């Protein structure tokens, strides 16, 4: 049986993008993290050491977003997924990277990349 712990809407300023001005000026990115975990032991014990510390996950995600730039948000999503999977107890992860200020000439609400690993 698998349960889900999610941290939605982690906002951080990054310098990711193919265009020079994206890497120079930066923009806000929003990341959603959904982790497949077994929460039975934590539910029974009420002990943080028996589950995934979602605060620590959020801190790591923000550090990756604000860190060295990637050209593609696909690469950013992959790096975040790799890091989150390193947390003990995470069986699988779905990462959604939102780029709401992407340089698209058409009117749009959001650009996202969603991966599951």
- Residues involved in catalysis: 99
Helices and strands: H and E segment counts in the chain: 4, 4
CA distance 42 to 51: 6
CA distance 15 to 3: 33
């Amino acid at each position: 049986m698998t349960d889900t712990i999610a941290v939605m809407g982690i906002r951080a300023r990054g310098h990711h993008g193919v265009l020079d001005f994206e890497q120079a000026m930066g923009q806000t990115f929003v990341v959603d993290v959904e982790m497949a975990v077994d929460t039975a032991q934590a539910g029974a014990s009420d002990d943080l050491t028996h589950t995934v510390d979602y605060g620590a996950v959020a801190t790591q995600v923000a550090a990756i977003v604000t860190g060295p730039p990637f050209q593609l948000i696909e690469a950013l999503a992959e790096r975040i997924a790799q890091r989150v999977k390193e947390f003990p107890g995470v069986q699988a992860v779905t990462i959604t990277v939102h780029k709401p200020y992407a340089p698209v000439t058409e009117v749009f609400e959001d650009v996202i990349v969603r991966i599951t690993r």
